[in-house]
Amino acid sequence: MYMSLYITLASVFCMTLSGVPGLFFSRRGMTGQRIAMLLNLLATLLGGAALLMFVSSGSRIQTLTWPWSLPWGRFGVGLDCITALFLMPVLGISIAGSIYAMEYWKQNRHPGNGRKLRLCWGIMNAAMMMVVLARDGVLFLMAWEVMALAAFFLITTEDHDPGVHAAGWIYLIAAHIGIIALVAMVVLMRLTTGSFDLWITLHGSVPSAMAAAMFILALVGFGLKAGIMPLHVWLPGAHANAPSHVSALFSGVMLNIGIYGLLRIGETMTAPPLWWGLTLLILGAGSAVVGVIFAVCQNDYKRLLAYSSVENMGIVCMGLGLALIGRSVNRPDLIVLGLGGALFHVLNHSLFKPLLFMGAGNLLHATHTRKIDSLGGLAAKMPITAILFFTGALAICGLPGLNGFLSEWLIYLGLLRTATVPQGGTLVWISLAAGALAATGALAVAGFVKLTGSVFLGNKRSDQISHAHDPGAAMLLPMGILASGCCAMALFPDVTMPFLARAIHDWAPRATTAGGSIGALAPLLEMAIVNAVLLLAAAAIVSVLWAVRKTRAAVRRPTWSCACARTSSRMQYTGASFSRMLAQMFSWMIPNTHAELPVPRYCPQPMEIVRDVPDVVLDRGLIPCFALTRRLLARLRPLQNKPVNMYLAYMLAILLLLLLALGF
């Protein structure tokens, strides 16, 4: 009966130990890395088999509990369809990243940090699995802390770099602010339910103030992990500075863990207050729009992808907020479309975002730069990477033909259905959020046209791409599998829908019976046919152009170029110039800084205009506040240089204040 759960725990055990054997092998050999990859593969096979057994068995939930010697809690784990859905990306991206690292981060080329990276890689994946499996508050917090620490060591793999070091510490501070909020949330749940059991349905007996406090604490703790604006401060730096397959794991899997927590806290209330859903919807819309605006204006392609993750987590939160609104007003159709779109987008984002980050790793591996404006013309030198990257870019833009469109389309339908509600028009204005989702899609297209066009098309802008070429099979194979997954999800969405329906049923049991299935509310078959036609048309056009290029010799003719002898990279748009109009349009939001070098009158030398796009929350908000606090606290430093009797007086004053507070 519990075989699926036992096998899943065995998978967690293999994942945890995957990096340990490498510690006993040479720093300059590949044996430890191969063993780690095989253990990751074994863990993925065990976990996949367990999930397949669970889904085919038709079980609703499996739970196991064992007492332990700790003074609080117990070892309690559980497996249901929601847990299974969030486990699938962990297992898939874990093995994909392990294979990718066999060439991208070879142990013999990184003897100083390769073993640490693989050890923390395995621990990180195992901790994320335990977070979603945990059904006890103490076990959940322990797994969450292990996940946070492992992620810190993964971000700081190249800790000799000051930028990497700073990004790691910003992440660690944010992570521990989040865990403080989650500890408080678990304590409040313990006071409410009388036990540390997690995700228990709380009925109307819970005081509204207590429920509100739990939701706000969960929003801070889980929102920091998911990267929802304005809690995203750690995300751009961490994604940009970590190794690319680690960035793929963070964006495709770790952000989902924050969404999982928000999903579970919404499940605890049978009829949550309406403001819960509205808060998530507004924060999600803001994260989606502002995140993609910042993405468009980046000159670092890994930071661009990082802000795109903020955008996509915002889209997921919009769907989750819509589902909570449906739960509040008893609208099963909004629950089905909102939660179905959110969960479907979680799966889709776990495919196309790791694909794009691995493509970014290919670019960094070949050119050793992250600057968009230093690249160009790479499609001719890296054709396979270009095709796979284009696939991920089309999917993430939500364009018809690939999987990103289907999940966003479900959320569109749910938002627009709020305009036809029978509640006297009280929810009609919520349909305006569809405009924010549409604007997000349009800006995402602009951002990825800038990225793909500036990097892969045109002429080269620097000599850094002179020796660029496609990497080996170990780096291309995971990307090919992820790109195939994007196409498969677009062509065969009906395969996923029954599993999503079971997850929706676990979250809101009456929604699927009263509101209907996803297929009844959204014509998925017709959209799958449209996707198939578009993909076939695109494949046919590419095949024809390729055949023409092979059979017909290219004729090069001079281009009229205003009396110039020949065209050069200086005559084509850069990424910064392409996005300049959008940056000016949103200049009230984006604090652009320009360091323009003066041009001399005679005999000018080569010069460069440096363009930086700081993060408005971190660079213009938190860091100046921390600097001001540091200056103010520095004035209190003389208080430390006092005799012992002054310290005793301090202690007495604090004790009196505490007694007064206790008296009140």
Question: How high is the pLDDT of residue 424?
Answer: 46
Question: How high is the pLDDT of residue 540?
Answer: 87
3-state secondary structure of 398: coil
Angle between helix 332-367 and helix 383-396 axes, rounded to 10 deg: 160
CA distance 515 to 505: 11
- Determine the average pLDDT of the residues in 258-285: 92
For the segment 50-77, what is each residue's pLDDT rounded down to a tens digit? 999 998 887 788 888 898 888 888 899 9
- Determine the average pLDDT of the residues in 188-202: 86
For the segment 80-107, what is each residue's pLDDT rounded down to a tens digit? 999 999 999 999 999 999 999 999 999 9
Let me know the angle formed at the C-alpha of 365 by 394 and 296, rounded to the nearest 5 degrees.
Answer: 40
CB atoms closer than 10 angstroms to residue 208:
9
Question: How high is the pLDDT of residue 587?
Answer: 76
Looking at the predicted structure, is the pLDDT value of residue 591 above 60? yes
Question: How high is the pLDDT of residue 159?
Answer: 84
165-169 long-range contacts, CB within 8 A, separation 24+: 166/237, 167/234, 167/237, 167/238, 167/240, 167/241, 167/242, 168/238, 168/241
CB atoms closer than 10 angstroms to residue 624:
11
CA distance 391 to 411: 22
Question: How high is the pLDDT of residue 61?
Answer: 86
Question: How high is the pLDDT of residue 423?
Answer: 52
Q: Give the count of alpha carbons within 13 A of 98, CB side only.
A: 31
DSSP H or E stretch at residue 66? strand 61-66
CB atoms closer than 10 angstroms to residue 628:
10
User: Residue length, the chain?
Assistant: 664
